[in-house]
Chain A
Amino acid sequence: MSMLLEVSGVSVTFDGFRAINNLSINFATTELRAIIGPNGAGKTTFMDIVTGKTKPDEGQVIWGEKNISLLGMSESQIAREGIGRKFQKPTVFEAQTVRQNLAMALKTPRGPFAVLMHKKTKPNAERIEDVAARIGLSDSLTRVAGELSHGQKQWLEIGMLLAQEPRLMLVDEPAAGMTPEEREKTTDILKEAAKTRAVVVVEHDMEFVRRLDCKVTVLHEGSVLAEGSLDHVTSNQTVIDVYLGRAHA
């Protein structure tokens, strides 16, 4: 199976502290993957590296069929390559409406001139409404994003990801601060999205991960500790020692 993203031998050091240590991890073109690990394991930093926010000290990040290296690229170039990212803290444009947020994310030409000359079209409007329907915000399109509830903001951000139509979605702790019903819906959205693309979810909540029902990678001190089905990794003794033991203590 050809890989969509291959991360191999990546290390990052902050002031002598090794946040990512010789990390290697691969994702297939269509898959749903959960990454779990204790706080400070380097999950967010891993996303930073893939999306170009942090430059690794060593290692390779190879993307797509043409095997392009992502390391020399800027954040916006990587995003245009088809990697979308949801941040740990929900970040939507609170001063703008839901529709404007989605319109901005919609996969259209990104150059200033094209944007300046951009015209509203029917197909685009339909795409926005379609995404809004998927995240359950159809009725809120004209509302200002700042007025949304925390969970709705999380969905809006996921919606913006969907509107980007990325080939790889990196989702950082989507369920944080959500009610159980909201979590359920979030799982559905993610599972649905993973049918046509690769979706990588970072999450702490075991129930949430279980419901995702997918391959799980355990990160610890900046490298992969275990990989496999949830049952497989949770029965791993080291995982229990470093993560589950602590989490359930």
Chain B
Amino acid sequence: MLRLLYLALALWFTMPVAAAAQSLQDILQTHQDEVLSPGRRSVGVVLDDLVASGLPQALPFLESWRDREIVQRDSDGLFFRVTEDGDTVTLQDLDTGDTLTASEDDLTESRPNGGVRRAIGDALVQFQLSDPDIAKRKAAVEAIARSMDASQLGPLAASIDDEPDAELKETKTRLVGMLGALFAETTDARVSAIEALSGDLSVDVRAVLNRILSNSEAVAASVPEDANIARMLVVGEDLTATDAYTRLVEAELAPALITKLQIREALVANIDGDAVSGVPVATLNTDAARALAYDLLAADGTVPPRVDETTQTEAVAAHRFFVQYAETDPAITDAARAALDNIERNVALNQSVDLGLDALSLASIYFLAAIGLAITFGVMGVINMAHGEFIMMGAYTGFVVQQFVPDYTLSIIIALPLAFAITFGAGVLMERAVIRHLYHRPLETLLATFGISIALQQLAKNIFGTQARPLTSPEWLDGALVFNDVVAISYIRVAIFVLALVFLCIILFILKRTRLGLEVRAVTQNPGMAASMGINTDRINMLTFGLGSGIAGIAGVAIGLYAQVTSEMGASYIVQSFMTVVVGGVGNVWGTLAGASLIGFLQKGIEWLNPSNTLAAQTYMILFIILFIQFRPKGIVALKGRAAAD
């Protein structure tokens, strides 16, 4: 509504002028001379009238004018747009767009010079910036943001007041701020523009400030008076003497060093019989010997002499090395520095929030992957090496469901319980067939389940092949929740976090509020006593194993959504899951949560310290865990009582 009002107002203002000159040709005819041979000054009048006219055809005219496509027909003095195609010359009416042919002799070209064309360009921008079509205005603003040119500041600033669209107005204002910081006329104007930017975290603002602060390293005998110095470089601290000399050479302030390669080439080129300057070739197998031979050659004047150490040191000592801003005004660079520092502090703060979110989502994944393992380990003291393969089974279940149910939302809704059911079944089967027979032999259980793990992995490979299978997430999980330019988190990660939270609640509920949970806790704390109290430990073991495996299946679907589904995916999570359980402390949901959080945050933290190398990050993390176990062998949340004593 408001926009319509703006539009109406704009139209109303432009109306009288438009009424005075109905067509473009009319306006051009009133300024015939200026159009034909425009001067830097005189062109202003034409442009003003054109802009004021608000005619839609003025815009293409300006473009053509700038591109030197406007001609005057000598016979009647009318202006046309011209296109030449070989010998035929086509004229186009500027108002109607009708085409007609003409002979070349009858035409005089309008030839605006560089300055004029720039002025036309500015007017064009202004035109586009106040074009009634919002798409065009947006495009113009984007073009300015891309090129960031001094000439754009004026027109852009002028177009702000009349901008009807609030959002675009905001963008324009920001852009004017950035352009002002770069190009405003006076130092004060620039400084205040820069200061106004210091609250903005966006990348383009940081780019603008960095552009103002662009600097270069330089060397001179003495620091130039008018230079805006960022800082001085101290030889020995900021750069090595060798580097310093290299810079002198680059700046042509000192003779180049003779490299070892050059020495070698010079020697090879001057071999005389089996010696170089009398030095036998066979002895030239050390740098010192080669240098000696070269010096002899240099003494003969065959080759340029080497630059010796003292010359180098003296040359370096005789010069100043410094970093110099391209911007000469220190007031501006200082302001920019302060603004950038402020922004960077802010960005760092936001980055740590972002990192925290990343870590949280990683922790959720570890929690989901490990909680099933923790439950079975806690209750039965059994490490299930095939846990990772249950994760894989869950993920493949998701994949298979998607082959039959093309709707991604629906397929995920089906896949989650189905994955649970399948892995629950597999877990129960494994417990009945294998693990039950190996109680009190934990190490052998570990190995037997490992046997199952390799068999399952290979089976998956045989069935699904070695290539990664996609598990596509529903559309509403695409994209990310964006807080600002720095902080963002993808919806899938949010979903996994929610899933982990839901599972935490479900498991806590089962353990704390149900009969099954009571029995499970009893068996965890003292299996013998629990059995003598009439609890069917066999059944409890079976159910907990099924439950643990079922959760692994669900974790598999969740992990498959954001990572690839392969037959080896389980293996990549199993060690992390063990770590989570061991670090957290066995047999305790909170312990697993603590372990997952610690490992998730730690991994992200290490990755942040050493972003280029994720392998190193993982290595360090495992080393940390090994050390951690030294100090808390029972994990963060240690189970107490006789059960834990041995």
Q: Which residues of A pack against B, CB within 8 Å?
A: 14-15
Q: Tell me, yes or no, whether B641 is within 8 Å of chain A by CB.
A: yes
- Classify chain B's interface size: under 10
Neighbouring B residues of A15 by C-beta, 8 Å? 640-641
The residue of chain A having its C-beta at the shortest distance from the C-beta of B641 within the complex is A15
A202 to B641, CA, bound (A): 23
Chain A proximity of B585: nearest CB distance (Å):
15
The residue of chain A having its C-beta at the shortest distance from the C-beta of B640 within the complex is A15
Q: Which residues of B pack against A, CB within 8 Å?
A: 640-641
A240 to B318, CA, bound (A): 102
Neighbouring A residues of B640 by C-beta, 8 Å? 14-15
A15 to B641, CA, bound (A): 8
A14 to B525, CA, bound (A): 14
Chain B proximity of A19: nearest CB distance (Å):
11
**Interchain Cβ contacts under 8 Å between A and B, 4 examples:** A14-B640, A14-B641, A15-B640, A15-B641
Neighbouring A residues of B641 by C-beta, 8 Å? 14-15
Neighbouring B residues of A14 by C-beta, 8 Å? 640-641
Chain B proximity of A130: nearest CB distance (Å):
34
The residue of chain A having its C-beta at the shortest distance from the C-beta of B642 within the complex is A14
Chain B proximity of A46: nearest CB distance (Å):
16
The residue of chain B having its C-beta at the shortest distance from the C-beta of A16 within the complex is B640
Chain B proximity of A65: nearest CB distance (Å):
33
The residue of chain A having its C-beta at the shortest distance from the C-beta of B646 within the complex is A53
A14 to B641, CA, bound (A): 7
The residue of chain B having its C-beta at the shortest distance from the C-beta of A53 within the complex is B645
A15 to B642, CA, bound (A): 11
A14 to B640, CA, bound (A): 8
A15 to B639, CA, bound (A): 10
A-B interface, 4 closest residue pairs, ranked by CB to CB distance from nearest: A15-B640, A15-B641, A14-B640, A14-B641
Chain B proximity of A180: nearest CB distance (Å):
28
Chain A proximity of B222: nearest CB distance (Å):
70
Chain A proximity of B63: nearest CB distance (Å):
85
Chain A proximity of B643: nearest CB distance (Å):
12
A14 to B639, CA, bound (A): 12
A15 to B644, CA, bound (A): 12
A136 to B425, CA, bound (A): 56
A32 to B284, CA, bound (A): 91
Chain B proximity of A94: nearest CB distance (Å):
14
The residue of chain B having its C-beta at the shortest distance from the C-beta of A48 within the complex is B645
Chain B proximity of A54: nearest CB distance (Å):
9
Chain B proximity of A203: nearest CB distance (Å):
22
A230 to B641, CA, bound (A): 34
